Chain A
């Protein structure tokens, strides 16, 4: 009997480890191929195609990219700017609103919650947003058009509200008796107590801003305002961007390694995320396990 259980456990382990290992490989392989392709010489790619290991090692793509890296540095600047500003404001506004929605003594809280929730049920679509932003607010080619659309996310608001609801009401009540105003309670008591929540939501916002290319595609036509992901996207889409890089890097366009250059761009755009994700991942896991189940 006992041996039988051991036997099935072994079988289970074989199945589970092999499936998880396959999943891990599938998750890593595309990244590996991307990096390997970016280090492969152009002629090797056109001859043999992208491989898992570089057939002919070459730094040409990176050399061209870093010769005159203005576009990339500027795009990094735009991405960092919108990520920092957007996350900070978004986090503040979201947590403040979540706090209000959670206050039991706020009479209209359910109505207000529905007021927010309704926007996820029904919306005017990108078309109306586009016309409103461009024609009425004149936000074309303005960084505001990259920040505003992502600034408040109703799903994160709900998650944040779940976090705040786990704080006992007695804390804010006793502070109120001591004469603290609503803002003081929020800033001095609620915010410090919801740090895991803030971290999770903040990461969500940051990730959204960092990975955004969509709003840039809608609202930005000036290459000086391209965020990183959109610069990458447009590089992939058009040879125009490639020839622009080659013209400022003053290389003859024939020498430009178009294929590996695109991959090198992708590596540069992915880099920072890969570097920070091991550190932020544990906050996500923590936040998701608390917030998502109830939310």
Chain B
């Protein structure tokens, strides 16, 4: 059995993926998507100069890289000796998750709900993926961020 975990801030989803993999002797792959959707998401913003937009997109990218390292370390600490591979992708979050699920031969995708990741935060990512995934989907209820 192969399990794919879509990485976001949810430690609940991490724990659930680790528990499932331990119980079933499955291999765990985690995917962190560097959000490449900012250009489209700020498409209404006609008055920012390219420097301002560029600076923001670069800033968001740097924050994403920091998050990817922090969350991968968090997952490794929780996974312990469980075999784990952490992959990075760049693009629209839901599309990259779907692409990995389609090409990786996974049996199960584990993700938090709501899913807290860049511009995907303002989408119902699980609903976007439903009906398109080639594998089962386990949604782990996660308390919304208190911001």
Decide if A and B are genuine partners: no
